[in-house]
Structure 1
């Protein structure tokens, strides 16, 4: 009894079935084979499509060569089309040089007439009578401003000073000749209204010519009397 009990106790545990690793191995091998087959199949399809693509142009070129008409056929087609179309007569055009000559002659005549016409210079009439007053350019004065001050046209002032440029006047240096009606010396009782009535010139023009801001004149003062209208 003791011996049987020992045998039962010393029994080795049953080992796991060895068939399981073999099954797993077979499954892996089958998967690898399947993958290899699929890859081989894919590569064979690619090579077949590549062969088809390379072979296509040759076939198309061969077909094009076969379809291309011969020289005799093309000549026959050209003759048939030429016979079918009516003949069109194109009018002949004269020489371009002859056609352009009249226009050139007219242009030349116009240019000659323009050159022959003398340039009419605008003559500026300088007022007669009165006096010529010499004015020295002051601070801030311009050529146009001086003409307005003495109530004369800019063209008249330029005609009286031909050697002076409008933009070349200098303060205290440039002296301009201006045509005025008179220079009046203020006497006793000579107010600007009386002086204006004497020369028939508005008071505001007398004040403008003498740079006056007030209607007042001192005894013995010399007043510049401009023309009543711009000349």
Structure 2
């Protein structure tokens, strides 16, 4: 369940990034021109570059985390092989820190060691489950997909409606989507949704407002 919640939270955050960054981009271009081809080109460029960048960054970060987890497991295997008594005492001490008495902690440490010593130490010392190490390819793919889906909303909202409706449709649909992602983030994190929704929509509105202003100024000067 914890792993699933982490994946869902990452997907929501990725979609949120796709919504905000692409909405800001197309709204900024819309401030300078109403040419559909220019809006589509800018939106697609932002979608592709953003999703690829997010996937690459996630791959590097999770690969580093996986390497650290594997190194920690290898170190625990070596220590369990070379000094099992010291490792048993270490596990006992860790259990005592969780509130168990010395006698109960020692008995629990013995039982955990007999059942699966590596798993016990990996969990207690590093918070690692040896059977569910993070997967860089899965993380990169999920980030790419989440960002892409999020970015498609403002992109389509900007290029599909008639020229006079493009901007209001994009702003309204983007803010509505940010309400949903803000609520989802709050629910997954166990936080009050109102404040998260307000922060999310305010940030998105600010991004669109600033980029539209910049696009309007550049469009007026003919740059």
Length-normalised TM-score, structure 1: 0.19
Structure whose residues are more often strand by fraction: 1
Larger Rg: 1
